[in-house]
Chains A and B, each alone.
Chain A
Amino acid sequence: MTAERRNTAALRFVLPAAAAFVLAYVLQTVLDDYVMSIVNFVGINIILAVSLNITNGMTGLFSLGHPGFMAIGGYVTAILTLPAARKAMFLPDLPAWLAGLQAPFVPALVVGGLCAAATALVIGLPVLRLKGHYLAVATMGFLIIVQVLITNWDSVTRGPLGLNGLADLTTVWQVLPWVLLTLYVSWKVKFSSLGRTMIAVREDELAAQCLGVNLFFTRVLSLALGAFFAGVAGGLWAHLVTAITPSSFSLIMAFNIVVMVVVGGSGSITGSLLAAVLFTVLTEAFRPLEEHYGLYGIGEILMALVLILILIYRPGGMLGTREPRFLVDDDG
């Protein structure tokens, strides 16, 4: 690779990242808090869609478990950042070492993400033997188990009441770096030997295996990678909404994220990003309409309609599995 090509490769990432920071600064000064929170939701949904795209889109593991990983990351982060005094009030039965602990936000997010990834490794063992619809149902089962566990593990999670009054730590300066990191990681993986094995597993696992690809390792890695960012997104989400309950992370949420990946184009990072922006903005845009005319649910109906139309007329999604040519430096 020549110096010039390396520079353009760096520019491809550094320039948009810098532009994103400038944009975030402008939005921060211009917009009010409510609209800014929508911007943060857009960012969180980008993290969710782009990370699910690693699992569902690139490796072809149809997972509905993403909100389950979010829940794990969300609760871990929330418990870690909760001041000791509030812990004593909310969760009097917490183990001593945890009760006295109060971590800063960023390390708490990282630990939340790692817990989600570790869970992915554990459930991957039995679940990743399954394929297609069976895998979808099994990951849905995982999501339900997580919800039930959170509901019943009173001493740590405060049960169905959930944790409320969390500090509003999630600002655009927290969300944006994580968005950029998620994009960087999935981009780097996609255009590397490792990412090619993931796509190969999606395309034809028998052929991939006969070329020396370890199917199980590849699947577990992509599930854990997606789970890590889902966990982080869960932590960001919890401290944006400032409350979490067991029902925060539902099957409907899983459906919404899957729709973003499918509409964007399974395997396309750019597609997932665009679809996440589009869906979040549209949902919010319909909200005043719903309230004004009393047409509650019209947003969901239109969203479902868009999905059906995409599946009929453009089954590969907006961008198929590819990225826009001008962004790609790779020879493939």
Chain B
Amino acid sequence: MLSAAPRQSESGARTLLKAEALEKRFGGITALADYSVNMGRGELLGLIGPNGAGKTTVFNLLSGVFKPSAGRILLGDRDITAARPDRRAALGIARTFQNIRLFAEMSVIDNIRVAFHMHRGRGLWPTLVHTPAFRRAEREMAERAAEFLELLGLQDVRRERAGNLPYGLQRRTEIARALAADPQLILLDEPAAGMNPNETDELIAVIERIHHRYGLAVFLVEHDMKVVMASCDRIQVLDRGRVLCEGRPADIRKDPRVIEAYLGTPRKGSRAGS
């Protein structure tokens, strides 16, 4: 069980993640410019914006998939700008992917168990000799996997090949897998994409459950306004690689700049995003 108590140091540093003036260029194209974010421990932050605004780029920078062209990223007091994704995962950043990246040939439970390896897995020798420590580790991993299967309602498909699951269950498996990495911060990249209204409601419930139960900071990229407005404490709006504005859901909804970014100027009248 993850500890429900917030993991903050005695000095009372409330900031979990801090990104300063991040910039990402691909060749001549600037995908993201001067992006900054400050996330508190246990905060639920939303990131919205039209297609191509740079939302996934933000996630790729935070999880270490891309290195920023400029700027720096701090997790707690630690500068992780140059850290590889596996190092960041070990420090407590987990993520899901917009276009689901499950281990398709592996079972649902094995997908989840992969995430345990960095903290609990044993090396080659204990594995081959079948030491007590190895057996204990494997038993603990099985038990904890059962916990996450239950949390996301995946018990019945635990042995199913992950690639065979229907879409909604694949999304949930990916969330379970990210949670199993024992993160302090979880990045959810469009978890409601392709879900029907029923599944979306379930998803909102799941996000709230993991947020409350584990005191986890959640950073959510989402197109579905219902999800963002329902779950987030605070929302950042991104447009064309820049932060347009930031604030509480109720204010964001009314902000004319946001409406313009999404709907375009009245003359154009074209609708971007959904």
Question: Which A residues are within 8 Å of any B CB, using their own CB?
Answer: 1, 184-185, 188-189, 192-194, 196-197, 199-200, 203-204, 206-215, 221, 225, 267, 320-321, 331-332
Contact = CB atoms under 8 A, between A and B. Distances in A.
Given A193-B122, A194-B117, A211-B117, 7 more contacts: A196-B117, A200-B103, A206-B101, A210-B89, A211-B181, A331-B142, A331-B159
Q: Which 4 A-B pairs give the minimum distances between C-beta atoms? A: A212-B118, A193-B121, A212-B89, A203-B103
Given A209-B84, A210-B85, A203 B109 contact: no
Interface in B96-135: 97, 101-107, 109-110, 113-124, 127-128, 130, 134-135
A206 B120 CA distance: 20
Given A199-B103, A212-B181, A193 B141 contact: yes
B114 A197 contact: yes
28 contacts: A188-B127, A189-B127, A192-B122, A192-B138, A193-B141, A194-B127, A196-B114, A197-B114, A199-B106, A203-B102, A204-B102, A207-B101, A207-B102, A208-B114, A210-B64, A210-B89, A210-B95, A211-B117, A212-B86, A212-B89, A212-B117, A212-B118, A213-B86, A213-B114, A331-B109, A331-B142, A332-B109, A332-B113
B242 interface: no
A1 B142 CA distance: 11
Interface residues of B, number: 47
Contacts of A192: 122, 127, 134, 138
A211 B118 contact: yes
Contacts of A221: 124
B53 interface: no
A210 B65 contact: yes
A225 B110 CA distance: 22
B122 A194 contact: yes
A178 to B, nearest CB: 15
A188 B90 CA distance: 25
A203 B135 CA distance: 26
Contacts of B231: none
Interface of A is mostly: helix
Contacts of B110: 196, 199, 332
B203 to A, nearest CB: 20
Given A203-B103, A210-B65, A332-B109, A193 B86 contact: no
Contacts of B139: 1
A267 B118 CA distance: 22
A158 to B, nearest CB: 36
A194 B123 CA distance: 7
Contact of B115 (A194, A206, A212, A215): A212
B113 A211 contact: no
Contact of B117 (A185, A197, A225, A332): A197
Nearest to A194: B127
Contacts of B80: none
Contact of B106 (A185, A200, A210): A200
A181 B73 CA distance: 48
